With several copies, the nearest count.
Chain A
Amino acid sequence: MAPDGAIAAEPPSGSAPGEGELFTAPVLHLDGFEGPLDLLLELARAQKVDLARISILDLVTQYLAVVESARRVRLELAADWLVMAAWLAWLKSRLLLPSEDGPDEEAADAAELLQERLEELARMSAAAAWLSARDQLGRDVFARGEAETLVEIDRSGLALDVPQLMRAWMAVIRRTARKRIYRPRVIRFWTVQDALVRLRRLLGSTPPGWSSLDSYLPEALPETDVTDRARAGRAAMAGTLIAGLELAKSGMLELKQDEAFGKIFLRPQEEMEMTAEAGEME
C-alpha cells in the first residue's frame, strides 16, 4: 500500500497506469464510477462470486474504506457518496452488532434491498454490454444508402369536386356583382367604317363583273349580345351600302339596282382594273 493511502480507480476510458504511477498518483478517480452504487457493484465483481451469494458486510466495509481513503487525500466527494457512506456505516453497525432481541430484521431487509439493487444494476449493465456487442446499424453494418424510388406519379387525372365548382361560380358572381356599374348596353353594329375597310380589302380580289352586295357582308359579326339577328343583319347591310356609295362616289366601284327594293350589285371600276393591269404589265 502506498504511504499516503491513495488509490486509483480508473475511469472507464482511461488507460491502465503502470505500477509506479499507481502508487504515486495523488488523485483518487472516484468519478470514474457512475455513482456509489456503481462502485459497490464493482466491489462485488471483485469478489468473483455469484451476486446472490455476495457478502454485503464485506462490500460495505470495502466501500467505507474507499471513501475513507478518498477523504484522507482530501478529494472532494459529492454528497451522494457521503450519504451512501453514512447509510452503509449504519448498516454495518447493525449487521455486526445484532440487537439482543435476535437478528436485526431492519438491517437484514436493508441488506437484501441493497443486494437486489446491485443485482438489477448488474443485469442492466449486462444488458448494456450485450447491446454494445451487437452489430450496430451505422457503425458495424450499413443499410442501403439511397433507397430506390419505385414510385410513378400519375398526373393525368383531374381533381374535381362540386364544392370547387361552387366556389368558382360564387367567385365569378361576387366579382362581377362588385364590378358591374350601370351603363347603357353598347350594341356593336357593323359600322360604316368596318364596311369601308372590308370593301376596300375585298375589291382587290373580286373577279371582274357584277357581284351581289350581300356577298360583302361580314361572315361573322363582331361579338355582340344583340339577339335580334335581323336587326344586326339590317345594320350590316346599311353600313355596307353606305360604304359602297362612298366608294362609288370616289370612283372605285360601280353600283346598280335593277328595281326598287331589288338586289344591289357592285363591281370594281373598270378603269381602275385597267390601270392595275397596265401597272402589272409594266
Chain B
Amino acid sequence: MTDITQDIWPSDQVVRLVEAMIFSASAPVSAKAILSLLENQDLVPDGVEDLDTCLRAVFDALQTRYAGRGVLPSEVAGGWQFRTAPDLAPLLTKVLPRPRRLARAAMETLAIIAYHQPCTRAEIEDIRGVSLGQNVLDTLIEESLIAPRGRKEVPGRPVLWGTTADFLRHFGLKGLGDLPRREELMTELPEALPRTEEAQAETADLLASEAQAGEEDA
C-alpha cells in the first residue's frame, strides 16, 4: 500500500477508513489522530513531505462524497466531525432535545470574551456599560463555552475568562482565527442582535422627535 502515488491519492480505502474513524466518534477527531492512524496502517504515500495537503485531499474527497447528504463532514476545533445538514435542523429538533437559545446578554458577553480573552468580569461590564448578572456567566460556564484562565494580578485578583474548545465546537469554528477580524466587524453599522428592523425604525423615529424636543428644551 506504500506505493500509492500522489495523483491517485487518496485511495478509496483511505477515504473509507477516515470516514469510519470520524463517523464513529462523537467529538471532533484531530488531524494528528487521523494521520497517526494512516501512518500505522502504512497508508501514507512514501516520500510525502506535505502531510497537510495529503489530509486536505482526504477531507475534500469526503466532502465530495457527502455533498447534499443528511450528514456532512465539517472542520471544527482543530479536527473533523460529521454533523447533520443545517437545513434539516427544523425537522430534527422535533425529535431531538433542543437546548435553549442563549440570551442577548449571554451572546454579547461571549463575544466580548472571545475577542478580549483573557478578561475579567469588570472588563466585560465596562465594555457593555452595564453590570453583568451572575446568571449570564453561569450559563456560559454550564454550557462549557467559557472557562477560567487564571487570575488577573490586580487588587482582588479577579478571575480571567477565556473561551473553550467547546466554544469552537458549538459554533463550528476551526479555531479562534475563524472569528471575523475586528476591522471586519466595523465595516458598517451592525444591527443590534435580536431587535427587528421594525422596532429599530420605531426607536429611531421616536428618538429623532425626542431629540428635537430635547433641543427645544435646551
Contacts and interface: CB of A to CB of B under 8 A. Distances in A.
A171 B108 contact: yes
A73 interface: no
Interface string B172-215: 11000001101001101111111111111011101111110111
A250 interface: no
Interface in A91-136: 117, 119-132, 134-136
A41 B82 CA distance: 40
A66 B193 contact: no
B83 A148 contact: yes
Nearest to B83: A141
Interface string B95-120: 11111111011011011101100000
Interface residues of B, number: 88
A211 to B, nearest CB: 20
A276 interface: no
Interface in A1-53: 1, 5, 7-10, 12-14, 16, 22, 34-38, 40-46, 48-51
B4 interface: no
A145 B195 CA distance: 34
A221 B152 CA distance: 12
A9 B203 contact: yes
Given A65-B211, A152-B96, A154-B98, A144 B153 contact: no
Contact of B99 (A36, A139, A224, A236): A139
B130 A35 contact: yes
Contacts of B190: 122-123, 125-126, 129, 174
A121 B124 CA distance: 10
Interface stretch (A162-170, A198-206, A258-266): A162-170
Interface string B134-158: 0000000001000000000111111
A1 B192 contact: no
B128 A34 contact: yes
B202 A142 contact: no
B214 A169 contact: no
Interface stretch (B6-14, B41-49, B53-61, B84-92): B84-92
Given A69-B210, A155-B98, A174 B128 contact: no
A162 B143 contact: no
Among A13, A124, A137, A180, max chain B CB count under 10 A is at A124
A132 B94 contact: no
A57 to B, nearest CB: 10
Given A1-B213, A143-B24, A220-B156, A131 B194 contact: no
Contacts of B107: 128, 131-132, 164-165, 168
Given A147-B24, A168-B111, A8 B82 contact: no
Contacts of B186: 51, 119, 122-123, 126, 173
A169 B210 contact: no
B52 interface: no
B129 A175 contact: yes
Contacts of B95: 151-152, 154
A51 to B, nearest CB: 6
Nearest to A48: B189
A232 B89 contact: no
Given A150-B93, A182-B197, A236 B155 contact: yes
A282 B157 CA distance: 45
A172 interface: yes
Contact of B108 (A128, A137, A221): A128
B96 A142 contact: yes
Nearest to A12: B194
Contacts of B125: 223
A142 B76 CA distance: 13
- Ordered nearest first, which 7 A-B pairs have the shortest CB separation? A37-B129, A35-B130, A65-B214, A221-B155, A126-B190, A220-B156, A46-B204
Given A123-B185, A124-B112, 7 more contacts: A9-B206, A124-B127, A130-B111, A160-B101, A172-B129, A218-B156, A221-B156
Interface of B: 20, 23-27, 74, 81-86, 89, 92-102, 104-105, 107-108, 110-112, 114-115, 121-123, 125-131, 143, 153-158, 169-173, 179-180, 182, 185-186, 188-200, 202-204, 206-211, 213-215, 217-218
